[in-house]
């Protein structure tokens, strides 16, 4: 029975875990190329045990050495299963420190028990299992509520099921304690039980010191809330868990936000306002843009703004991300409710007027200026407004890195691809075809060696790392070839979905054109907008939509916006670009102003 994964979601690609796996595999590849006498000497020098306790770096170097293909495969599989979710939750830097610390603690305890069991000439230990045991100790304390996805026997009984993680891992730890005590009498099992114990205890102690159990309780309750919401679709069913979560994490902005939504949904505005306020206060210190969205949600849901200073802060957060329309909405929600002759309102209206001018809403800005002069006739901020309205729109709030940047989305896609690749690797490790190929090739090599059908350099080193590594790679190639047919069928399904998408796009275009011919221009605009939401670079649809807004719906702003997109996307000498330029001139817009 083997674990093949957990039910925990990994949000970001665990780069440290992948780097550790890569380093271990690289070192093992070097080992496989070494002659056997050299390899044994290297193990004695860089391994960790009573015979070389005085080598200061052996506790570190030993955790990157492995003695066989199965040794490294299972170690790296366990590192990925438990290390990936843990790194995502504790952070890459801390995770690496814990990993190295656990490996060193495991080596030190293994050296001490080696002296007791075998004396000064005791064997050295190699492998990453001590450090991985530390990761498992941290995992069982932090993620005690998780479940492990198991497979009974990948070859004979590939049945997958899930079981609670904590009982199995504690049983595994107690088994190592039992066999470790047994080895103190000098009996060798060929496994570093005390290294496992040392690493596991190190992980438990560190997790207790860092209070990771508290974070685990929070995540567990949050998961229960999400499960209840998915089952019933209402906040009321999750009230008990939400209040329990609030009790142990009263400053968690997500908890306060969820409670605010729940009470707003139950028409309890007084309670909802309090939790909205706490969520905003906590978010402003760590994630201002999330705080800004909650301020807007408060105004929309309760039809009442927060303090005007809070709305001003939210507007500034929106503007910093290039979301000026959202900033205008959140400011308007505060100002249209009431205007007082106080310094906070003076600052808010000043910012609002400058924002409107920057957005090109000059009429609204002038109206706001009249209100400002009426409320604050002697304001010291009036020169600031005069200086702003003397500048061109779009130049007052430059955005250095707004949401239009594609870098975060690119990193997210790379992370998702990496996680999918590692999930695929885990599938291969427990694939019956891979294990069967590995066993058959190993048996065949031994048989051919006995019959003398192999070259001498292979027959004389059948159980060496180089030959075992070659068998592993051959089994991997065979499995990938077999699975390639599955991948091809996946590509066929993707092609079918693409064909369906093309058909839907054609039908949407047909509906838009038909509506336009029938002079149902509102419906035509709707269908053209749908087309562009799915495929924004459809220039024909964009030109048709611009003409509908221009010639039939009397909406020059929207028409100019789409004409401008065409001008930006096409070369200046293209006919469609020239047509867009001419239309902008007719509307009274310059291409750069539109």
Nearest C-alpha neighbor of 92 from the set 136, 133, 100: 100
Pair 207, 102: CB distance under 8 Å: no
User: What is the structure's pLDDT at 407?
Assistant: 47
Site of tokens 């504790």:
90
Q: Which of 174, 239, 210, 192 is nearest to 75 (CA)?
A: 192
Please report, for residues 469, 500, 506, 519, the alpha-carbon distance to residue 512 in angstroms, rounded to integers and kept in the order given: 61, 18, 10, 11
Burial state string for 90-103 with b = 16 or more CB within 10 A and e = fewer than 16: beeebbbebbbbbb
Q: What is the mean pLDDT of the chain?
A: 84
Number of H helices, E strands in the chain: 26, 3
Task: Give the single-character DSSP code of 287.
Answer: -
* Residue intervals in the chain for CATH 1.25.40: 234-389
CA-CA distance, 13 to 10, in Å (whole number)?
7
CATH 1.20.1540.10 intervals, the chain: 2-210
Signed CA dihedral, 307, 313, 315, 321: sign only: negative
Give the CA radius of gyration of the chain. 33
Residue with tokens 């294990």: 435
* Rounded Cα–Cα distance for residues 344 and 334 (Å): 11
DSSP codes, 481-514: HHHHHHHHHHHHHHHHHHHHHHHHHHHHHHHHHH
**Whether pTM exceeds 0.75:** no
* Helix boundaries (H) for 406-464: 407-429, 432-451, 456-459
What pLDDT does 229 receive?
Answer: 67
Q: What is the pLDDT of residue 325?
A: 92
Q: Are strands 2-6 and 147-153 parallel, antiparallel or unpaired?
A: antiparallel
Distance CA 181, CA 187 (A): 10
What is the homologous superfamily of the domain 2-210 according to CATH?
Rhomboid-like (1.20.1540.10)
163: Cβ contacts below 8 Å, ≥ 6 apart: 147, 148, 150
> Tell me, what's the pLDDT at 297?
92
pLDDT of residue 178: 92
Which residues lie closer than 8 Å to 485 by C-beta, 6 or more apart? none
| Closest by CA position to 387, among listed 361, 418, 415, 353 | 353
- Collect the ranges in the chain with pLDDT lower than 70: 153-158, 229-237, 398-416, 457, 462, 484-493, 590-594
The topology under which CATH files domain 234-389 is 1.25.40
**The predicted structure's pLDDT at residue 594:** 41
Neighbouring C-alpha atoms within 13 Å toward the C-beta of 159: 4
CA–CA separation, 538 vs 508, rounded Å?
12
């Amino acid at each position: 029975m083997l674990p093949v994964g957990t039910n925990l979601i990994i949000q970001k690609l665990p780069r440290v875990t992948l780097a550790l796996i890569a380093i271990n595999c690289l070192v093992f590849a070097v080992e496989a190329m070494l002659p056997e006498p050299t390899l044994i000497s290297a193990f004695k020098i860089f391994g960790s045990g009573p015979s070389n306790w005085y080598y200061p770096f052996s506790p570190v170097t030993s955790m990157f050495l492995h003695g066989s293909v199965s040794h490294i495969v299972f170690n790296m599989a366990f590192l990925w299963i438990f290390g990936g979710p843990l790194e995502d939750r504790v952070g890459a830097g801390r995770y690496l420190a814990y990993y190295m610390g656990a490996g060193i603690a495991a080596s030190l305890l293994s050296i001490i028990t080696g002296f007791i069991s075998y004396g000064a000439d005791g064997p050295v230990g190699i492998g990453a299992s001590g450090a991985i045991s530390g990761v498992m100790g941290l995992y069982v304390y932090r993620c005690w509520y998780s479940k492990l996805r198991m497979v009974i026997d990948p070859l004979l009984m590939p049945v997958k099921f899930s079981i609670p993680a904590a009982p199995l891992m504690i049983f595994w730890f107690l088994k190592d304690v039992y066999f470790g005590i047994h080895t103190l009498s000098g009996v060798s099992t060929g496994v570093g039980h005390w290294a496992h114990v040392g690493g596991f205890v190190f992980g438990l102690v560190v997790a207790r010191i860092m209070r990771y159990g508290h974070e685990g309780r929070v995540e567990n309750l949050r998961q229960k809330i999400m499960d209840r919401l998915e089952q019933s679709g209402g906040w009321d069913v999750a009230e008990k868990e939400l209040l329990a979560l609030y009790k142990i994490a009263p400053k968690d902005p997500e908890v306060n936000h969820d409670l605010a939504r729940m009470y707003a949904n139950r028409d309890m505005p007084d309670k909802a306002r309090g939790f909205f306020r706490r969520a905003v206060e906590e978010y402003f210190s760590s994630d201002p843009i999330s705080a800004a969205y909650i301020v807007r949600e408060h105004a929309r849901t309760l039809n009442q703004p927060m303090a005007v200073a809070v709305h001003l802060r939210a507007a500034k957060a929106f503007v910093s991300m290039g979301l000026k329309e959202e900033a205008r909405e959140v400011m308007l929600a505060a100002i249209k409710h009431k205007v007082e002759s106080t310094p906070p309102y003076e600052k808010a209206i000043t910012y609002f007027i400058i924002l409107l001018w920057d957005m090109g809403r000059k009429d609204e800005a002038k109206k706001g200026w009249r209100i400002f002069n009426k409320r604050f006739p002697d304001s010291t901020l009036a020169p600031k407004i005069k200086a702003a309205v003397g500048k061109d729109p779009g130049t007052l709030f430059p955005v250095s890195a707004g949401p239009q940047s594609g870098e975060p989305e690119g990193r997210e896609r790379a992370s998702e691809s990496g996680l999918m690749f590692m999930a695929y690797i885990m599938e291969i490790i427990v694939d019956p075809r891979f294990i069967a190929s590995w066993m058959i090739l190993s048996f065949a090599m031994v048989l051919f060696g006995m019959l003398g059908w192999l070259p001498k350099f292979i027959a004389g080193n059948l159980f060496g790392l180089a030959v075992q590594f070659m068998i592993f790679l051959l089994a991997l190639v065979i499995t990938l070839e077999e699975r390639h047919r599955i991948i091809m069928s996946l590509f066929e399904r993707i092609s079918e979905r693409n064909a369906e998408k093309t058909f839907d796009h054609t039908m949407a275009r047909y509906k838009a054109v038909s509506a336009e011919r029938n002079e149902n221009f509102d419906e035509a605009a709707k269908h053209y907008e749908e087309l562009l939401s799915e495929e924004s670079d459809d220039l024909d649809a964009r030109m048709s939509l611009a003409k509908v807004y221009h010639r039939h719906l009397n909406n020059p702003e929207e028409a100019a916006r789409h004409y401008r997109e065409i001008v930006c996307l096409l070369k200046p000498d293209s006919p469609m670009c020239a047509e867009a330029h001419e239309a902008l001139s007719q509307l009274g817009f310059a291409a750069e102003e539109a």
